[in-house]
Amino acid sequence: MDNFEYLIALVSVIAGLGIARALSGSAKLLHARREISFSWIPICWTVSALLWLVAFWWFTFLLSSIENWSPWLHIFVLVYAGAIYFLLAVLHPESIETGHDMLERMLDNRKPIFGALMIVALIDIADTWIKAKLGLSTPPLFSYMALIIPWVVLSGVAMFVRNRVFHGIFALVFAIAVLLWLGFSIEGIMEIVASGA
């Protein structure tokens, strides 16, 4: 196995754990649906984070063309994967008590949740910069800035605002932005997957 194969194996494990955490958390909520106050907003964030995790995993295949790996690049990629996993973990508590209010719990934990979301965005900026420095494919600058700047700013605002309307709009707009971003990127993603095979 070369450096990239070792790395992608570990990234795949972290991605798998993130997916499992989100799915098991969602299943717990489903089982407890009659005993909790349900909210679509945390579910929307879970879907967005899952989509981003899968996209991150796909785009990691871009790194397969790198021949000289530094320990710092290994660590950076693992930190990125870990940050998305952490986001999914804080979105889904280990236990769900009777009377659990999904939205209130999310709002009570908004600083770690949206702090993690902001960290993922900042790491993605660094990731894009590293890929550009290495001569790898990067997204068009204007569309990337249109996604990433509101992501960082609104995540910062969401850490301090409890307003349910704001959080609902932010969750919905972010999910749509991620879907559009992936929709525009799908051809490139499929080329990456095909070239990594």
Task: Kindly report, residue by residue over 182-191, the tens digit of the pLDDT.
Answer: 887 766 666 6
Q: Determine the average pLDDT of the residues in 89-112.
A: 84
pLDDT digits (tens, 9 = 90+) for 15-54: 999 999 988 888 887 777 777 788 899 999 999 999 999 8
pLDDT at 77 over 70: yes
User: Would you state the pLDDT for residue 197?
Assistant: 45
Q: 27, exposed or middle or buried, with CB in 10 Å at 0-12, 13-18, 19+?
A: exposed
Query: 32 vs 18, 84, 100, CA distance in Å?
Result: 21, 25, 9
**Global model pTM greater than 0.85:** yes
**What range does the domain containing 96 cover?**
3-196
Residue 65 pLDDT grade (very low, low, confident, very high; cuts 50, 70, 90): confident
User: Would you state the pLDDT for residue 90?
Assistant: 92
User: Would you state the pLDDT for residue 192?
Assistant: 57
Supply the DSSP symbol for 37. Answer: B
Domain count for the chain: 1
Residue 168 pLDDT grade (very low, low, confident, very high; cuts 50, 70, 90): very high
- CA 110 to chain centroid, in Å, comes to 16
